[in-house]
A and B are shown apart, each in its own frame.
Chain A
Amino acid sequence: MTTHAATPQPSYLVDTGSRKGLLAWLTSTDHKRVGVLYLVSMLSFFFVGVGIGFVMRLVQLTPFQHLITARTYNALFTVHGVIMIFLFVIPGLPAVFGNFFLPILIGAKDVAFPRLNLASWYFFMIGATLAVLSLFTGGGAPDTGWTFYAPFSLKTGTNVSLAVFGAFVLGFSSMLTGINFITTIHRLRAPGMKWFRMPLMCWALYSTSWIQLLATPILAITLVLVILERFFGIGIFDPAKGGDPLLYQHLFWIYSHPAVYIMILPAMGAITEIIPTFAKRTIFGYKAIAFSSMAIAGVGSLVWAHHMFTSGMSNLATMIFSLLTMIVAVPSAIKVFNWVATLYKGSIDFQPPLLFALTFIFLFAIGGLTGVMQGALAINVHIHDTYFIVGHFHYVMFGGTGFAFFAALLYWFPKMFGKMYSKKAIYAAWFPMFIGFNMLYFGMLILGMMGMPRRYFVHLPQFHTMHVVATVGSWFLVLGLLAFFGTLLYALFKGEKAEDNPWGGVTLEWTIPSPPPKENFDTIPTITHGPYHFEQESQ
């Protein structure tokens, strides 16, 4: 491990400029502070989303109407989707851990465009504010579902335009972050940090950034068309004027399916950082993991129409998209096998981040395999628009990206804030989270197989038992989440000081103090070997 210079620099948490306190944070272009800004804002939105999901589950506790009206229920599932997808899982890992750790992992002092980076956060907040405002203004909260399908989104009297514009602005934030990361990786790698010496998180962020760059503008233009359609009636999606609603679905999913990989790739990147550290050995199949990230980004951009198997496409088109969907499972599986192979014969140091990383692999495997099921045409027709799909994407998005986010937070929390949390409390929180999660979402998979349609306000008596199981599961899950974040908050204020390298990691972030100094490195390191170089292994 490298030693620090004789005169330690102040940490990035200390205000050194003329501005103090909150203002210093809101005007800082330091990539670490921007990362923390994202973390705080995103977790706030996450808990709003959790709250809405909790209420929706309460509604399903009885088969008949209670608690809220059907209209409110429509608004709730729309807003739950918009918040969780656009404000939490899409920006999730890249905006928080990408911003905080990408420059450190490649041995740089900041991202390529620090001011643009701060501007991205402001775009994020403006977009988020507009989306939240849309709930309380105009004709009321949007009731279209987060997909804003035409022609309903063109005709409904609710406040779709503002919500859609909010998503448009959020897209800007996402694109600018992508541009920033690609340029950073191309231009700011430390001397000797060749492409195949980069930690794999950087490869994941690199492929994610390309998707953000190539897919987000399609969503932007689609949302602009919805707004123009609502205000001026240009007719492109309106069958009454010669337009075609199916065109909307295509354009929407050309972005929104690759967006799934924007959500999951950086999560996989974080898991790839965590596993070698706790197995104390180098990653198995470095290049296979790096290239599988790029392969997921590439093939994942060509599978969008598998969301539309029942929308009325030609048989040939559905078969091609089905095949491509199956193919995208291959690079995902490559990663899973490489993680497991890395653990094999490692000297495993079982710590909270590893527990959450393994939970990620388990839940993501269920999510991934149910995804392949839906890629098969015959099954898809049977389970389309049922709770099966809801269960599936929660396994991928929450069990996958969400748990990877928690794993990454546990892994890097001591580095980011210089404090260590209570490991016992985290283990205790994991238990209800894991049990509750599987009761809730496996319950949904079963409900879907039984035929329960998604987005229904009331349900038939035969679905009642599983709905009760799922709702009780949601209580455990929320309890676990509260305990998890309570533990971290307690550690933030009252936790004991963390060491510079509490896990024995070997990537560059563990060679600098916790929390990192403002400039990250006193002198830019020179890299002479691959990222996961454990000494005990080479002996």
Chain B
Amino acid sequence: MSEHVHRDDFGARLGMWLFLVTEIVLFGGLFIGYSYMRYKYPVDFHHGGAELNATLGVINTVVLLTSSLTVVLAIVAIQRAEKKRAMAFLSTTLVLGVTFLIIKSFEWAAKFHHGLYPSAPHLATLPPGEQVFFGLYFTMTGLHGLHVIAGLSVLSVMLWWVATDRIRPDRYIHLENSGLYWHLVDVIWIFLLPLFYLAA
């Protein structure tokens, strides 16, 4: 055996799943905080949720779910050695991810406009539960947004690797793992939607 030719796709996938566990626990800490605060301030959370735009939230959910589908289709295309199709699907994913961020930024901008952001003078006049609600809203959607940006960066690299044949029909574990990460981003959003947008 010569050195550094060791390759273990199963091991790589296992490592990725373990990493996803850490991500879930990371958000888990915030979900614990959310549960406790919602238990403490049920009415304020209801009012907080009413301030959010559920329609935009649902549209964003559809956008993100579709992007998860296109990642899977890209992996299938690579397995079938259809390079161009894989690149098209990956590009679609990137476009959908950016769309999600754009919609999100409009939402955040509206909240800032209405003075509903941490340490805003207006927010300080609201009941404590609503202040915590918006503190959590910005923390959790913000952290999720960072994960979307990280996922998009990784998927951009994957697109580049597909184009330059570093990802091939016989070697696509990197793409597969990136896809897993993107699904995680998706799954976390599926929890954020009801917790914030549908809290009213």
Contacts and interface: CB of A to CB of B under 8 A. Distances in A.
B42 interface: no
A186 B128 CA distance: 49
A180 interface: yes
B36 interface: yes
B128 A233 contact: no
A333 interface: no
Contact of A175 (B1, B10, B22, B139): B22
B32 A234 contact: no
B143 A112 contact: no
A516 to B, nearest CB: 14
Given A234-B135, A242-B129, A213 B33 contact: no
B118 A234 contact: yes
B6 interface: yes
B14 A233 contact: no
A431 to B, nearest CB: 44
B112 interface: no
Given A183-B15, A183-B18, A234-B139, A218 B29 contact: yes
Interface string A109-146: 11011101000000000000000000000000000000
A495 interface: no
A26 interface: no
A299 interface: no
B118 A233 contact: yes
Contact of B143 (A114, A182, A187, A224): A224
A251 interface: yes
Contact-size category for B = 35 or more
A218 B21 CA distance: 12
Interface residues of A, number: 42
B136 interface: yes
A232 interface: yes
Contacts of A251: 29, 32-33
Nearest to B16: A179
Interface in B25-66: 25-30, 32-33, 36-37, 40-41, 44
Contacts of B127: 242
A235 interface: yes
Given A217-B29, A232-B118, A247-B33, 12 more contacts: A182-B14, A183-B18, A186-B11, A217-B25, A217-B28, A225-B139, A234-B135, A242-B44, A242-B128, A244-B40, A251-B32, A519-B3
23 contacts: A179-B22, A183-B11, A183-B14, A183-B15, A187-B11, A187-B14, A216-B22, A217-B28, A218-B29, A220-B29, A225-B33, A228-B139, A234-B135, A234-B138, A234-B139, A235-B131, A236-B139, A242-B41, A242-B130, A242-B132, A244-B36, A244-B40, A247-B33
